[in-house]
């Protein structure tokens, strides 16, 4: 499949954005609707905490991906999260459920008042899946965050150890214009997220 899809492509050529996206759409041959991912080299050293680039941005045309959302919240905030479309909402009961091995979620959110309790009970268990203000997964406006994720408008990015960001910008059945607009919004978010400690070309 790979050999067939790259026939007619010059692998040494750098393509302009629009042309590259059209080629991505043309060479998508899987039996499902493929996600279009971008890989962007940032020129940072994420081994240094002050050069970590991590966050989220809302893409104007969404990512096309539907994800299961679990929320740690109590009282009124729990009601808001449920009304916004969260798949699972809880507090002590949700902590116990996860301690028991339950993992049927793609994204884990929390209200700030729950964080001390979650950290104490699940910090080691959840690891990188732990809700975090930096990742935009801890918020008092929990309903908005749930809606952003459930409507698949939110793209998350986190620099990996090689200094590269991987993020989705839509599906191959999006128009080239929609993919372009999503890409430019992501790119602007990354430019704004530039760490002050970043050296050289970012």
121-159 confidence digits (pLDDT tens): 998 899 889 999 988 899 999 999 999 888 878 888 889
Residues 6+ apart with CB under 8 A from 147: 84, 85
Each residue of 187-202: pLDDT tens digit?
Answer: 999 999 888 888 778 8
Report the 10 Å Cβ neighbour count for 73.
25
Q: What is the mean pLDDT of residues 113-126?
A: 93
154-173 tens-digit pLDDT: 888 889 988 899 999 999 99
What is the Cα 76 distance to its own chain's centre? 27
Most distant CA atoms of the chain, gap in Å: 59
Rounded Cα distance, 139 and 76, in Å: 14
Query: Residues with Cβ < 8 Å from 111, sequence gap 6 or more?
Result: 71, 72, 73, 74, 77, 138, 139, 140, 142
pLDDT, average across residues 84-104: 95
Indicate the SS3 state at residue 40: strand
pLDDT digits (tens, 9 = 90+) for 33-76: 999 999 999 988 888 888 888 888 889 998 888 889 999 999 99
Helix (H) or strand (E) holding 160: none
Token pair for 176: 């080239």
Give the DSSP H/E element, type plus range, for residue 165.
strand 164-171
Q: How far apart, in whole angstroms, are the C-alpha atoms of residue 202 and residue 147?
A: 32
Q: How far apart are CA 62 and CA 174, in angstroms?
A: 10
- Are the C-beta atoms of residues 6 and 27 closer than 8 Å to each other? yes
């Amino acid at each position: 499949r790979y050999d067939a899809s790259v026939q007619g492509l010059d692998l040494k050529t750098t393509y302009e954005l629009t042309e590259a996206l059209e080629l991505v759409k043309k060479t998508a041959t899987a039996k499902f609707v493929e996600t279009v991912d971008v890989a962007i080299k940032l020129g940072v050293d994420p081994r240094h905490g002050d050069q970590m680039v991590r966050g989220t941005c809302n893409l104007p045309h969404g990512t096309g991906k539907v994800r299961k959302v679990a929320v740690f919240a109590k009282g009124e905030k729990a009601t808001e999260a449920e009304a916004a479309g969260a798949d699972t909402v809880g507090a002590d009961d949700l902590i116990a459920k996860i301690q028991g091995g339950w993992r049927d979620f793609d994204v884990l959110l929390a209200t700030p008042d729950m964080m001390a309790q979650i950290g104490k009970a699940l910090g080691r268990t959840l690891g990188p899946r732990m809700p975090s203000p930096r990742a935009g997964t801890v918020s008092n406006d929990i309903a908005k965050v749930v809606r952003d994720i459930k409507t698949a408008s939110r793209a998350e990015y986190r620099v990996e150890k090689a200094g590269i960001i991987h993020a989705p910008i839509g599906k191959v059945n999006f128009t080239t214009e929609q993919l372009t607009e999503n890409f430019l919004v992501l790119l602007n978010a990354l430019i704004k997220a530039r760490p002050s400690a970043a050296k050289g070309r970012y």
